[in-house]
A and B are shown apart, each in its own frame.
Chain A
Amino acid sequence: MIPIDFQYVAAQSVAEAIRQYHQFSTSDMSTRYYSGGTEIITLARLHQLTMDAVIDIKPIPAAQVCSIVEEKLFLGAALTLSQITSHPMMSRAFPLLQVAVNEIADRTARNKITLGGNLCGDIIYREAVLPLLVCDSMVRIAGPNGAKEESIHRIFRRTMQLKPGEFIVQIATDKIYRCAPFFHVKRRKMGKVGYPIVSAAAIRLQDNIHIALSGVCSFPFRSRTMEDWLNQKHLPVHQRIEEAIQIIPPELILNDYEASREYRRFVLRTVLEETLHQLGSA
């Protein structure tokens, strides 16, 4: 049972969602946008999250989009991970994202978890962001000051940097990135469902590797400095990998019940090696 009370409103349009947010705010009500809601429900049940109102963005047509316009793929933030994995277009349109989100949670949970929810969640892994980071995706945001489009790199710095009242409506990704050769790997402590020790999404573009990682630190990231080392093809592979790993401050590497810091570093090393081999950069 969720021990707090909150008001639930389903918004039918972007404008209505913004209007509702404003209305709740002026009534001094703490408000959250709600999409899949899995994390909100879980944390509220554990007294780790409170709010006076939630605004469900699932009914908003713009947040349910899955279409290609002028070689850009637009994905609505309220699409469930299952909708992304099962959409007939996705295996050609953005196979890396399809593969990556298919590894998040389990089959039934993916019917509820949404793309936007995973990106904005408190969970430290947020693996749906990895393909967007390597593909330089753009994020379409709505808020009290209107609509805007921001680079994922500008809006996602460890967590989503949304201002009060803003929410993600869509993600846009160019063909040149989403159709590039890709590799995805997720290493868990055990089994096929669960959090990653290391999760990596990578593409090869103009003979360079783009790679983003989750599970290594308490936030997903893409590091250009790491990529620079990994792409130094005149150096032996092991040296490129060791130099790339050195970039991560040791104290930032997670050391928890899933894996010790040293084991995580070992897994990262093998993941980077596999990535370079799979993308023909070894």
Chain B
Amino acid sequence: MTKHEVTLHINGEDRTLVIRHADTLLDVLRLQCGLTGAKPGCENGDCGACTVIVNQLPYKSCIMLAIEATGHTIMTIEGLKHSPIQRAFAKCYAFQCGYCTPGFIMNAHAMLLHDTSIDEPTIQEWLESNICRCTSYEEIASAIRMAMSTMNANLPDNSKPNSPST
């Protein structure tokens, strides 16, 4: 088994790790970095429980090699602190068992990084990337709407969606 030293930029820190080229990002995050927020679910790219953000886009870390992420900015749920989407998930009770929650939050956070005036079809399209076996979908969608309103309320007036200058 050949191992190689790589440096990954995770949650604002450079982490030098010794990995196999065949290691998935999910395995490296969980087993080597101790970042167990990204969850192994299907490990097949279907359920989204392992979603992390790489360069501001959501990725399923079970279908990405860790070595592919070198030179990119990785954010896991552990790197997300006091964000509107986290508070909204808690306020809306947007979880039951909680296993899928980190993946949903990372996906929703990435969506809100892109735009804070997202329509319903777009929310539905993004949410279809993740599966919640407890079927909390309505509450999750509510949490996204709540986070979106919070973020829009905090924007300067001329940057708000539908403001005369936008």
**Residue B14 at the chain A interface, CB threshold 8 Å:** no
| Cross-chain contact of A42 among B45, B51, B65, B124 (Cβ < 8 A) | B45
Q: Mark A122-136, 1 if CB is under 8 A from B, else 0.
A: 000000000000000
Once the chains bind, are A38 and B57 in contact (CB under 8 Å)? no
Known: A1-B24, A2-B24, A7-B2. A41 touches B63 (CB 8 A): yes
Interface size on B, as a range, is 20 to 34
A8-B65, A193-B128 known; A111-B23 Cβ under 8 A: no
Contacts of A107 in B (CB 8 A): 58, 125-126, 128-129
A45 touches B43 (CB 8 A): yes
19 CB-based A-B contacts, threshold 8 Å: A1-B27, A2-B23, A5-B20, A6-B22, A7-B21, A37-B63, A38-B63, A41-B62, A41-B64, A42-B63, A106-B48, A106-B128, A107-B126, A108-B126, A108-B129, A109-B45, A109-B129, A111-B58, A112-B59
Tell me, yes or no, whether A192 is within 8 Å of chain B by CB.
Answer: yes
Interface membership of A166, Cβ < 8 A: no
Q: Which residue of B lies closest to A38 (CB)?
A: B63
Cβ of A174 under 8 Å from chain B: no
**Beta-carbon contacts under 8 Å, B12-69 to A:** 20-24, 27, 43-45, 48, 51, 57-60, 62-65, 67-68
Interface flag for B86 (CB, 8 Å): no
With a cutoff of 8 Å between Cβ atoms, the chain B residues found around residue A6 in the complex are: 21-22
Q: Is B1 an interface position by the 8 A CB rule?
A: yes
Q: Which residues of B contact A105 (CB under 8 A)?
A: 45
The residue among A38, A107, A112 with the most chain B CB atoms within 10 A of its own CB is A107
User: When chains A and B are docked, how far (Å) is the Cα of A2 from the Cα of B24?
Assistant: 7
Contact residues of B between 107 and 135, Cβ < 8 Å to A: 107, 124-126, 128-130
**For chain A residues 29-79, which have a beta carbon within 8 Å of chain B?**
37-38, 41-42, 44-45, 54, 56, 58
Which residue of chain A has its CB nearest to the CB of B20?
A: A5
Chain B residues within an 8 Å CB radius of A8: 21-22, 65, 67-68
Distance in angstroms between the alpha carbons of A182 and B100 in the assembled complex: 39
**What CA separation (Å) do A192 and B122 show in the bound complex?**
13
CB distance B20 to A112 under 8 Å?
no
C-alpha spacing A54/B22, complex, angstroms? 10
Distance between B89 CB and nearest chain A CB, rounded to angstroms:
18
Q: List A92-122 residues whose CB lies under 8 Å from chain B.
A: 105-109, 111-112
The reply on A4 being an interface residue by CB < 8 A is yes
Task: Write the chain B residue with the least CB distance to A102.
Answer: B125
Nearest CB of B to A242, in Å: 35
Task: Check B65–A37 contact: CB distance below 8 A.
Answer: yes
The smallest beta-carbon distance between B56 and chain A, in angstroms, is: 11
A residues in contact with B58, CB < 8 Å: 107-108, 111
Interface residues of A in 166-192 (CB under 8 A from B): 191-192
Interface hits, A1-19 → B, CB 8 Å: 1-2, 4-8
Which 7 residue pairs of A and B lie closest in terms of their CB atoms, listed nearest first?
A: A108-B129, A8-B21, A106-B129, A2-B22, A38-B63, A108-B58, A107-B129
Q: Which residue on chain A has the smallest CB distance to residue B103?
A: A108
